[in-house]
Amino acid sequence: MTEFTLHSVESAPQDAQARLEGVQEKMGFLPNLFAKMAEAPALLEAYQTLDSIYSRTSLTPAQQQVALLAISSVNGCSFCVAAHTGGAKAAKVPEGDIEKLRELKNPDDPKLNAVARFAKHLVEARGWADDAEVQAFLGAGFEKQQLLELIIAVSLKTLSNYTNHIAGTPLNDELKSLEWQDPRK
C-alpha cells in the first residue's frame, strides 16, 4: 500500500496549514482525516467547503448525521463511521438508531429511516435512484429539495471515505471509543 503522510500543522503544505490550525482549534485535536487530506490542499479545501454548505441544508442536524453515518457504513469507512457516530450523538439521534446504522440497518424513527434508506440507495445505485425509492422518500414527508441535498452528503462522504480508503487513515485516540468494525467482514 502506498504510504501517505499523516501531516501535522507544521509538516503540511503551506496552503493547508491555516485550515489544519482552524480544525485543531475548533475540535481540540487534529482529526487524522484532515492530516491525510492536507497532502492535497485543494482536497482539504473542497471537503471543508462542501461540509460547510451541507451544514446549511434544510435537513436537520440529526438527519444530516444519519445520512453521513449511513453512507459511511455502506462504504465501509471505519474512520467516518466513528466520527459520525459522535456527530449523531451530538445531534441527539436516538442511541438505538445509531446502533442500527452501525449494523447497516435503518433507524426505527420514520423520518431518520427515510433519510438513511434513501442515502444508502443513492450510493448503492450510483445515483440512478429507483422511482419507488424517490417516492418512498417524498412520501415520508420530505421535499424534492431535501432529496437533492442528500446528493451533497454522498459527495461529501465520497471525498472523505475514498481518502480514508486510499490513504489508510488511522483512527485518532479521541475517536477510539467509537471504533467500528464492518459487520460484512
Q: What is the mean pLDDT of residues 89-99?
A: 98
Distance of CA 166 to the CA centre of its chain: 16
Report whether CATH 1.20.5 matches the domain 14-54.
Answer: yes
CATH topology of domain 59-161: AhpD-like (1.20.1290)
CA distances, 151 to each of 50, 82, 119, 155 (Å): 11, 21, 8, 6
CATH 1.20.5 domain range(s) in the chain:
14-54
CATH 1.20.1290.10 domain range(s) in the chain:
59-161
Give me the torsion for CA of 176, 93, 129, 75, rounded to 10°. 10
pLDDT in tens, 125-146: 999 999 999 999 999 999 999 9
Q: How confident is the model at residue 91 (pLDDT cuts 50, 70, 90)?
A: very high
**Residue 56: what are its φ and ψ, rounded to 5°?**
-100, 10
pLDDT in tens, 24-43: 999 999 999 999 999 999 99
The identity of residue 112, as a single letter, is L
